Amino acid sequence: MIEVKNAKKWIQNGARRVEILRGISLDIPAGQFVAIVGASGSGKSTLLGLLAGLDTPSEGEIWLDGVPIHNLAEAELARVRGRKIGFVFQSYQLIQTLTALENVLLPYELNLEGSGLERARRLLDEVGLGERMDHYPVQLSGGEQQRVALARAFVVQPPVVMADEPTGNLDSVNGKIVLDLLLDRNRKAGTTLVLVTHDPEIASRADRKIVLKDGLVVEDALIQNQ
């Protein structure tokens, strides 16, 4: 589902080049739950952004479901992102002027034909927000906002869901709810799940753990007893 070949990312700061990723190669098969872990500054979020097509590598190749996203024009890249990836941010990234239902509907309306209203309503029911569809983000708790963000990520039925510290702003109870919803989608729909986390308990529930340090993969292991 995802193939990375010697991906590097750097930022040029005058005469100085700041290396963020220093050569990452990995393959992620369809349906796998991968946890990417490492200390702050190790390159986790940068790698996730490259995998999601939110950024492009300075060097190397990234293939998503057979599509070389490392060299696509922005319009085509946006089309691929919109149909193949659901992305969940730590800070929810909901549009404040839209209701929960309208936030969930937005990716469908931008990327697919027909009406997604029934699907959006069903997803909000599934994440426990059937009675909150007409509420705006400011009227929702952090946990509820993140569940809206999950429903939004699922609405186009993407083959891949990526999440950057999706429980980082939540208490343990809401964090568990969000993680269980992500795992449920991974198991029932066969969705590939790639998740950046600092939480060892979350990482322990993955099929595979990739550890980054100083922009390099220093450990890549399947997790037993799943």
- What pLDDT digit, counting tens, does each position of 134-188 carry? 999 999 999 999 999 999 999 999 999 999 999 999 999 999 999 999 999 999 8
Helix runs in the chain, H state only = 44-51, 74-84, 100-111, 117-126, 142-154, 172-189, 200-204
Segment among 43-47, 124-128, 209-213, 220-224 with least mean pLDDT:
220-224
Q: Are 220 and 213 in contact (CB under 8 A)?
A: no
| Residue 50 clears pLDDT 90, i.e. is over it | yes
Amino acid at residue number 13: N
What average pLDDT does this structure show over 196-217? Answer: 94
- Count CA atoms within 13 Å of residue 41 on its CB side: 3
Please give the mean pLDDT across all residues of the chain: 94
Amino acid at residue number 125: D
pLDDT band at 27 (very low <50, low <70, confident <90, very high): very high
Q: Where are the domains of the chain?
A: 31-57+85-222
Write down the pLDDT at residue 138. 97
For the stretch 80-104, pLDDT in tens is 999 999 999 999 999 999 999 999 9
Angle between helices 74-84 and 100-111 (to 10 degrees): 120
Instruction: Give me the CATH topology for the region 31-57+85-222.
Output: Rossmann fold (3.40.50)
